Structure 1
Amino acid sequence: MDTDIERIELGDVEVIKVVEVRGPFGAPGDLFPGIEGAWRAGEEWLAPRFQDPDSGAVLAAVQAWVLRSEGRTIVVDPGVGNGRERPGTPHFSGLDTDFPDRLVRAGVRPEDVDLVVNTHVHADHVGWNTREEGGSWVPTFPNATYLVPRADHDFFGPEGAARTVRDNHRFLFADSVAPVVEAGQAVLWEGESHRIDGQLTLEPAPGHTPGSSVLRLASGTDRAVFVGDLLHSPAQFLAPSCSSAMCVDPAESAASRVRVLGRAADEGELVIPAHFPGPGAAEIRRDGAGFAVHRWAA
């Protein structure tokens, strides 16, 4: 069994999870300031899937989602990429994985991809936008349109505020975003929503970054929401007001998370976060000021 590739059918949409890397990503209190109480309350079920039982570190994965919808192949959040310089996140620097081969094993050749969705512009969501060729970064998916939130493009771009914060932001824009824009393959979307097709819609969910978005799926009787980095751990179901240390605006991120999870609980949407290892999707219910997992989806 190839545990790096898993599939599920949601209505008429095939969803394929393709893992790039997985492992410990840091201590709970460092990644989620203020979450310690909720973390202790959930320890019995967080370990061993979502917390290393020995070190106590948060376990997470970087993975892309491939969607086949209405005859098109769509890649959502294509990981870190190989050979990147990421001084602020050493575990993302200089990766050398076989992720492209995993895509092929999943039945996805780069030339077959029609659309790439970046739910937001962070190093682990835009990396495989590009690959290195002859000393330059070129689009990995030569026939694809890349959907990039305009707010993030402007924030992380050459004139954006993020460039003054971390070298990571400057590097990731230069090697993973600018090349697809310069190739004429990027669409910078903005507004209240962006309709991809009759089953898929992008909607803003700002806070983690200014342009962070969620991807909603509605096909037949099935509903799902790909929430990107609104969640990094299921402990945030218990404490949805607790944002990650990576959020640009923690309060706005919390408001987006509460809103999106509330709709998912009320309307029966399957919640599919970017970084959960193992079971990557959950049905949730309201539980006091937070939410509880009703069922993990296979």
Structure 2
Amino acid sequence: MQPIQLGRMRIHKVHEMDSPVPLLGQLPGVTGADMKRLLTWYDQPDEVNADPETSLMTFSVHSWVIEIDGRTVLIDTCDGNDKHRLIPEVSNLNTDYLGNLRRAGFEPGDIDLVMCTHLHFDHVGWNTRLENGKWVPTFENARYLFGKRDYEYFKTQPESEIVHLEAFLDSIVPIMEAGKGELVDEDHVALGEIADGVWMEPAFGHSPGCCTISAQAGGAPALFWGDVIHHPVQLIRHDLPFAFDTDGVMASKTRKRTMERAADDDLLCFPAHFRRTSAGRVLRDGDAFKYEWLPG
């Protein structure tokens, strides 16, 4: 997609991969009626149809890069290459993510700040790369911000989170050991100030310290919602817990609150996993919501 200009801010999408999985394996409880409603505004025949049993959730895994006031900010760093994962589809990947970053106009050394909406494996993987058998920071000139809640949670090595714990050990710990990481509260202002800069806001539930990232610079505000919402069908069934939610009830409440705010404030949204251009707006649709993508 083409970069998006919002005032003094320019936003780029950097794609890593598409990842299809059975819909009901991720979001049990979706019905045929839900799918028919989704199909009125989401037409992706290789992925969804009126039968939830045969429909997929195809996640676009990508980062967002913000150019703002002479600084370059990278939000969420996808899966990463060469990393052992218990999920075979994302284990020992060899993607051209860095090539896509370069095609967007950036070398790894151009990144000033890396921000992760949360510390799950598909949002931290390119924090590090393998060099001579050792995990080293990919973005050598960047400062990395990690939320305190997620960091402290995964530091305890919870057995129920082994998939994400693998990523914590190879994509977070080496950053801290290299002196590149900074632990911050989930309402941290990263650049400038609120409404004129880049800042974090708590969005707990999907992970203990999940947050959204907002940015604004003399133009329309942007919302990077990470994994608060994974897939368009969740705009209809925001009440259903997602497979990887740490606290499903809290995550569902956070999801609904985020959609209400996005719709009522007419925010331009930058989801972590929506396909197409990914960027767009949330609209109210009766008792639920729908999504309107920016044209590509």
Question: Structure 2 CA distance, aligned partners of 1:272 and 1:191?
Answer: 19
Equivalent pair of 2:4/2:10 in contact (CA under 8 Å): yes
Shift of 1:44: 4.1
Cα shift readout 1:139-170 (whole Å, capped 9, x = no counterpart): 0011100011111111112x24x3x1143233
2:42 to 37, 46, 61: 46
Q: Which residue of 1 aligns with 2:76?
A: 77
State whether structure 2 residue 289 is matched by structure 1 residue 297: no
CA distance in 2: counterparts of 1:138 and 1:52, whole angstroms = 39
Tell me how far apart the structure 1 counterparts of residues 183 and 130 of structure 2 sit (CA, whole Å): 23
Counterpart for residue 246 of structure 2: 248
Q: Which residue of 1 aligns with 2:65?
A: 66
Is the aligned partner of 1:155 residue 2:153?
yes
Cα distance in 1 for residues equivalent to 2:3 and 2:187: 30
Q: CA deviation at 1:39?
A: 2.6
Root mean square deviation of aligned Cα: 1.9
> Would the aligned equivalents of 2:124 and 2:171 in 1 still touch at CA under 8 Å?
yes
Moved more, 40-49 or 106-115: 40-49
Normalising by structure 1, we get a TM-score of: 0.91
Comparing 142-151 with 220-229, greater Cα deviation is found at 220-229
Give ranges in structure 2 of 5+ residues lacking alignment: none
- Unaligned stretches of 5+ residues in structure 1: none
Q: Which residue of 2 aligns with 1:234?
A: 232
- Map 1:1-298; keep pairs closer than 5 Å: 6-24=2-20, 26-36=21-31, 37-48=33-44, 51-52=47-48, 56-87=55-86, 89-157=87-155, 159-160=156-157, 162=158, 164-197=159-192, 198-293=196-291, 295-298=292-295
Structure 1 position 195, deviation (Å)? 3.8
Tell me the percent identity.
35
Give SS of 2:269's match.
strand
How far is 1:233 from its partner? Answer: 0.9
Q: Distance in 2 between the 1:73 and 1:107 partners? A: 11
Q: Contact conserved, 2:80 with 2:93, CA < 8 A, in 1? A: yes
Task: Give the aligned residue type for 2:160.
Answer: V
C-alpha separation between the residues in 1 aligned to 2:294 and 2:97? Answer: 24
After TM superposition, the score normalised by the length of structure 2 is 0.91
Tell me which stretches of 4 or more aligned residues in structure 1 moved more than 6 Å: none
Shift of 1:251: 0.8
Asked if 2 retains the 8 angstrom alpha-carbon contact of 1:50 and 1:233, the reply is: no
Q: Contact 1:110/1:140 (CA < 8 Å) preserved in 2?
A: yes
Query: 2: CA distance between counterparts of 1:243 and 1:279?
Result: 26
Distance 1:199 1:231 in 2: 23
Q: Which is further off, 246-255 or 192-201?
A: 192-201
SS of the residue corresponding to residue 172 of structure 2 reads helix
Separation in 2, partners of 1:70, 1:274: 23
